[in-house]
Amino acid sequence: MASNAAETLIGAVVVATAAGFLVFAGQAGGFGKADDSFEYTARFFSAEGLAVGSEVHLAGVNVGTVTALTLDKTSYQAIAFFDVLDDIKIPDDTEAKIASEGLLGGTFLELTPGGSDIMLNPGEEIIYTQGALSLLNLLMKFVTEPDE
């Protein structure tokens, strides 16, 4: 009888731990929009490496999360939807670029604010963008180009 109680207790601990991991994964993955953030969009010719849940950085500080990625079927551009904390105002000449943390690091969306006094309203699109640079494509271009 004692072993049944111990097995039940261990099973309950395993189930509670699994539930904790699911809650953490949901929060880290960006599921559920935070109440204290605004959504913006940006279009890219290549959103390679960017994923739902990727961080949004401003001056190296995490200020938001990528919430969705879709394809515009007429222009064949990737549209990134992302949240930024509501106390951060985004100038209308801000540049959004897809950056990586290094050769083996993760990819994130980097915002570089411009000098405009006009701020974007929630839901508006950042016009100035730079897509992902593929290291493999750059290396292949370097290797295959003939010397002149």
Its domain, for residue 64, covers 37-140
Domain co-membership, 67 together with 5: no
**DSSP-derived secondary structure letter, 141:** H
pLDDT tens-digit map of 78-121: 999 999 999 999 999 999 999 988 766 788 999 999 999 999 99
Q: What is this structure's pTM?
A: 0.69
146 lies in some domain: no
- 49-77: per-residue pLDDT in tens? 899 999 999 999 999 999 999 999 999 99
Does residue 60 share a domain with residue 19? no
- Whether 25 and 73 map to the same domain: the answer is no
Beta bridge partners of 110: 57, 97
